[in-house]
């Protein structure tokens, strides 16, 4: 279990004040649909796509993730005191970087590698078969690199599968922690943290953001966690990286429509995926519009729009989020090791 620094005594009123107040601040993944919907969307987007083979490969990975999540064993979770201290300190209760991982995530990773090995081209099978037999030390080292965003030493070939196992593990922990019975003085297991640009549950960066159209939260923008799949609300007038309300520019691969927004005096677009760039901090994050396509899925639609990343990156913008299913890096600079070495 993770050790969290002790915090000073604080009143119940102040503790409750730190909990999410407005409706729908946090949205949690659903065990039966989280990875299943990702798989379905990936297969839909793969049709006639230039990245068809890779999208279908990640769809197979999502299928294996779904199966692993349904049977994931019980693991150590933060207790009521740890959850309270995390809230007082404004920190995520399940910090990806500092959490003492249970070996169960390794078993899930090996199972996912084995499940997809038979579905990839023959030249890729040895890598996955080797990953399925990788020793614990190597897997833990790769996990540390992934969760800390370090490319040097990271095996880019197997990174998506290692990430897949970590995603299952953290998704399970978030769902299990959210079901814990807590003292009446604690409003919820998860709430707001000091850093609004990372996940309130695990502290990981977002994949992208999504404008949701569910009845109770219609029109609200949520950031989608790259690791545990939780979502947290952030108003649409702020940069998701620096929170500036100035200099936001939206770009897409869809040409602006001819109609004019009379209030703004600008052409509008019906693009499902846009890049929200901030001229103040030179960072960008994609924003997906479920009002334009209710089938959008954060990881899948991000993968299928990598051309937009290339376009915005060429303009000098740096991506603030990460998609663990497709990491960008220089393989030579990474000096990747082989599984089990």
Is the Cβ–Cβ distance between 80 and 186 less than 8 Å? yes
Cα 93 from chain centre:
16
Model confidence over 197-208: pLDDT tens digits? 999 999 999 999
Q: How many other C-beta atoms are found inside a 10 Å radius of the C-beta of residue 70?
A: 13
Is the Cβ–Cβ distance between 168 and 105 less than 8 Å? yes
320 against 259, higher pLDDT: 320
Query: Strands 220-225 and 260-261, how do they pair?
Result: unpaired
Q: Which residues pair with 138 in a beta bridge?
A: none
Is the Cβ–Cβ distance between 208 and 249 less than 8 Å? no
Cα 31 from chain centre:
15
- Both tokens of residue 230? 């939780």
pLDDT score of 334 more than 90 = no
Q: Characterise 219 by phi-psi region: left (phi > 0), alpha (psi -120 to 50), beta (else).
A: left
Average pLDDT of the residues of the chain: 87
Q: Which residue has the tokens 């169960």?
A: 104
Which of 75, 305, 94, 45 lies closest to 201, judged by CA? 94
Model confidence over 21-32: pLDDT tens digits? 445 899 999 999
Cα 92 from chain centre:
15
The pLDDT score that the predictor gives to residue 102 is 98
pLDDT score of 116 more than 80 = yes
Model confidence over 33-79: pLDDT tens digits? 999 999 999 999 999 999 999 999 999 999 999 999 999 999 999 99
Give the torsion through C-alpha atoms of 326, 330, 333, 336, to 10 deg: 40
Model confidence over 212-270: pLDDT tens digits? 987 677 889 999 999 999 999 999 889 999 999 998 999 999 865 444 444 555 556 68
The pLDDT score that the predictor gives to residue 215 is 66
Helix ranges (H only) for 133-213 are 136-148, 159-178
The pLDDT score that the predictor gives to residue 78 is 96
- Both tokens of residue 278? 């901030």
């Amino acid at each position: 279990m993770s050790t969290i620094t002790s915090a000073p005594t604080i009143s119940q009123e102040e503790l409750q004040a730190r909990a999410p107040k407005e409706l729908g601040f946090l949205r949690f993944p659903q065990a039966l649909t989280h990875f299943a919907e990702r798989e379905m969307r990936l297969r839909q987007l793969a049709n006639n796509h230039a990245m068809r083979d890779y999208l279908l490969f990640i769809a197979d990975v999502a299928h294996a993730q779904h199966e692993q999540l349904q049977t994931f064993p019980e693991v150590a979770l933060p207790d009521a005191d740890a959850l309270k201290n995390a809230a007082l300190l404004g920190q995520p209760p399940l910090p990806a970087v500092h959490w003492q991982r249970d070996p169960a995530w390794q078993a899930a990773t090996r199972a996912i590698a084995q499940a997809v090995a038979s579905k990839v081209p023959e030249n890729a099978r040895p890598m996955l078969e080797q990953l399925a037999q990788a020793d614990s030390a190597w897997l833990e080292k790769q996990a540390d690199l992934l969760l800390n965003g370090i490319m040097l030493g990271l095996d880019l070939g197997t990174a998506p599968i290692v990430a897949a196992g970590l995603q299952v593990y953290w998704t399970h922990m978030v769902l299990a922690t959210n079901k814990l019975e807590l003292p009446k003085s604690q409003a919820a297991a998860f709430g707001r943290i000091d850093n609004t640009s990372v996940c309130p549950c695990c502290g990981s960066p977002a994949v992208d953001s999504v404008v949701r159209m569910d009845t109770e939260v219609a029109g609200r923008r949520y950031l989608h966690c790259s690791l545990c799949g939780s979502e947290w609300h952030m108003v649409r007038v702020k940069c998701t990286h620096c929170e500036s309300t100035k200099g936001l520019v939206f770009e897409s691969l869809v040409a602006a429509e001819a109609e004019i927004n009379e209030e703004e005096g600008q052409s509008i677009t019906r693009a499902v995926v846009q890049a929200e760039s901030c001229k103040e901090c030179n960072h960008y994050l994609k924003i997906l519009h479920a009002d334009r396509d209710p089938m959008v899925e954060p990881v899948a639609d991000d993968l299928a729009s990598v051309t937009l990343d290339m376009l915005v990156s060429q303009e000098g913008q740096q991506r603030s989020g990460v998609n663990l299913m497709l990491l960008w890096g220089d393989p030579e600079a990474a000096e990747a090791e082989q599984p089990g070495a």
